Amino acid sequence: MNVDSRTPEEHAAVLIVGGSIVGASAALFLAARGITPVLVEKHPAVSTRLRAKLFYPRTMEAYRSVGADQDVYAVQRALPPADHAAVVTSLAGPEVRRWRLPAAEDFSDVSPCPSALVKQADLEEVVRAHARAAGADLRFGHRFLHLRRHDDHVVAHLLDPAGEPYTVEAGYLLAADGNGSAIREGLGIGRGGSEAVSHVMEIGFAADLRRILDGRRLALARTDLPERAFISWNTAYDRGAVSVTYDPAAIDPAIVFDAERCREVVSHALGLPASRVAITGTRPWQMGGWVADSYRAGRVLLLGDAAHVTPPTGGFGANTGIQDAWNLTTKLVSVLRGDADPRLLDDYEPERRAVARLTVEQALLRVRDRTRAWDRPLLSEAAVAIGYRYRMPGDDPAGPALPEADEPGRWHGEPGTRLPHLPLADGVSTLDLVRDGRYLLLAGAEGHPWVRAARELDPPGAFLDVALLPREDGSGTVRPADACGIGDHGALLVRPDHVIAWRAPRAAPNATAALTEARIPSRLRSGALTSP
């Protein structure tokens, strides 16, 4: 559709296309830091389709930083516990095997936040409400048409719910418009490492599951052989989906999965008479994994499923997208506030694309034939979702090789890793010392020269917070400085997304010169923070 060039034009610092959990999270993270985004989403309301339901601690830490975590946990507390999965003969029949979901394990040693086991639709409601309260302009039922790119801005052509065209000129556009991203395809960005593991038919149903599920603490289930069917359901226990694989070379799904066959599949999976099941729809899709060849084209940046697609095994997909939003928006806030040069955004793609490749690989390993030999180790869910490390430009190529990811508790302040969580007084975590989208200089208990140096470089404290670690943590058993790899006289520079950008393991002869070399935020010309 052509949009008249005379269409009135609006202006925004950031335009977000796509209002599912990744786009909504990006809007919240920006608005909470004083940047008012415009978000457009073609659907008028939250999707009721069953999607993610496991949100790991690192994701909840991002929400904690903007004050949204407690409302998410309140949703979880209002629901029956659902922290297990099972293999069943049918949902109403005997269980063959059950296990506690890895996301439900106790992470209190490494994070102030437990996982949240909630449906994505419920999480989206909370995130949207917080984004609106923070000032984000959320527009549902608005459709993206196309965009024009310029060196210093983009112009997006849109339709409002009444079908009236309008345009938004924005400094940056965040494409969170899903795995079929029209923006990615319009930019001609390809996909790498694509692998279709299986073709799946998702059959939606309506049925009363309350008596079947009451007290069982199940989040999901699958039936045993001969036909494996994955079963999911909503929090009201009255709707759900049964997903089965098929071979497109052998059958035409549009013919085979007629109403009678769908009712038969669902009835068998649930262990209910067909008369007690209503089919609400079908959706074929491919389980696979891929990563976009590029995450950026000028002032357009991809995130979430527009940038990568992950098989559902492990529950990594939505978490990875939310962390894209967390990483990117903290960089955007620094740039838009004037604390950092725009070239800081150049680090978004190498950081997040490497994490996506690792995550897709790990999810694929979980669904491949386990009897085959693979040249990559199977990492724990905690290592993938919490313990990944960004490769830093200052990494010493002659130094010891560091893993891409490891168990969270094995990291001790290495640049590129997340700041270790240590409980301080009054329930405060070391992660809580990072606030309001600002950088943090965190020094050991005797690190007063670092504090003075930070105040010389940023006298008003406009963009750089400073803090001294106590000699012991809140339990009196751990020395926080040692856990951060700096001792009492060293220091860390922590980014707004809790990632360690630079580390001085010990005192420096001239702390001011060392921090100047580290190029704290106002002096950033790229994300490369070098060690003194």
CATH tag, 9-81+115-191+290-354: 3.50.50.60
Domain with CATH 3.30.9.10 in the chain: 196-288
Nearest-CA neighbor of 498 among 66, 54, 116, 135? Answer: 66
May I ask the CATH architecture of the domain 196-288? 2-Layer Sandwich (3.30)
* Percent of the chain whose pLDDT exceeds 70: 90
| Long-range pairs, 452-461, Cβ under 8 A, ≥24 | 452/511, 452/512, 453/511, 453/512, 453/514, 453/515, 454/515, 454/520, 456/512, 457/512, 457/515, 457/516, 457/520, 457/522, 457/523, 458/520, 458/522
In this predicted model, which residue has the larger pLDDT, 524 or 345? 345
Residue 172 pairs with which residues in a beta bridge?
14
Nearest-CA neighbor of 201 among 227, 239, 176? Answer: 227
Average pLDDT over residues 164-169: 96
pLDDT in tens, 123-134: 999 999 999 999
Check residue 528 and give its pLDDT: 39
Helices 448-457 and 511-518 meet at what angle, rounded to 10? Answer: 60
Cis peptide before 226 (omega within 30 of 0): yes
Average pLDDT over residues 178-187: 94
Check residue 426 and give its pLDDT: 81
Strands (E), 56-136: 84-88, 95-100
Check residue 395 and give its pLDDT: 67
pLDDT at 374 over 70: no
- DSSP per-residue codes, 470-485: PSS-TTSS--HHHHTT
pLDDT at 525 over 60: no
pLDDT band at 527; cut points 50, 70, 90: very low
Report the alpha-carbon distance of residue 95 to residue 88 in Å, rounded.
4
In this predicted model, which residue has the larger pLDDT, 231 or 193? 231
Domain with CATH 3.40.30.120 in the chain: 419-523
Residue where the block lists tokens 């002659």: 398
Is residue 50 within 8 Å of 74, Cβ to Cβ? no
Check residue 402 and give its pLDDT: 75
Check residue 369 and give its pLDDT: 52
Asked whether the CA dihedral 232, 196, 102, 228 is positive or negative, the reply is positive
Check residue 476 and give its pLDDT: 65
Report the alpha-carbon distance of residue 26 to residue 23 in Å, rounded.
5
Check residue 226 and give its pLDDT: 64
Average pLDDT over residues 369-391: 79
Check residue 532 and give its pLDDT: 31
Average pLDDT over residues 95-109: 92
In this predicted model, which residue has the larger pLDDT, 26 or 220? 26
Check residue 8 and give its pLDDT: 59
What is the assigned CATH class of domain 419-523?
alpha beta
Q: How many CB atoms lie within 10 A of CB 377?
A: 9
Check residue 366 and give its pLDDT: 84
pLDDT at 153 over 70: yes
| Long-range pairs, 75-81, Cβ under 8 A, ≥24 | 75/116, 75/118, 75/122, 75/123, 75/126, 76/116, 76/117, 76/118, 79/118, 79/235, 80/213, 80/214, 80/215, 80/217, 81/217
pLDDT band at 70; cut points 50, 70, 90: very high
pLDDT at 347 over 80: yes
pLDDT band at 9; cut points 50, 70, 90: confident
Nearest-CA neighbor of 433 among 518, 496, 511, 501? Answer: 496
pLDDT at 358 over 90: yes
- Of the listed ranges 229-233, 376-380, 522-526, the least confidently predicted one is 522-526
Q: How many CB atoms lie within 10 A of CB 225?
A: 7
Tell me the one-letter amino acid at 366: R
Check residue 457 and give its pLDDT: 83
User: Whole-prediction pTM value?
Assistant: 0.92
Dig out the tokens for 223 from the structure.
């039936």
Tell me the one-letter amino acid at 42: K
Which helix (H) or strand (E) segment holds residue 502: the answer is strand 500-504
pLDDT at 117 over 50: yes
Check residue 464 and give its pLDDT: 87
- Of the listed ranges 52-56, 270-274, 431-435, the least confidently predicted one is 52-56
Report the alpha-carbon distance of residue 426 to residue 436 in Å, rounded.
20
pLDDT at 192 over 90: no
Q: How many CB atoms lie within 10 A of CB 402?
A: 16
- DSSP per-residue codes, 388-425: B-PPPTT--TTSPPPPSB--GGG--S-TTSBPPP-B-G
pLDDT at 523 over 60: no
Residue environment code for 6-27, b if the CB has 16+ CB neighbours within 10 A, otherwise e = eeeeeebebbbbbbbbbbbbbb
Which helix (H) or strand (E) segment holds residue 329: the answer is helix 317-337
Check residue 531 and give its pLDDT: 34
Check residue 352 and give its pLDDT: 97
Report the alpha-carbon distance of residue 213 to residue 233 in Å, rounded.
10
pLDDT at 491 over 90: yes
pLDDT in tens, 431-483: 999 998 899 999 999 999 999 998 888 877 778 899 999 887 666 677 888 89
Nearest-CA neighbor of 322 among 58, 506, 108, 136? Answer: 58
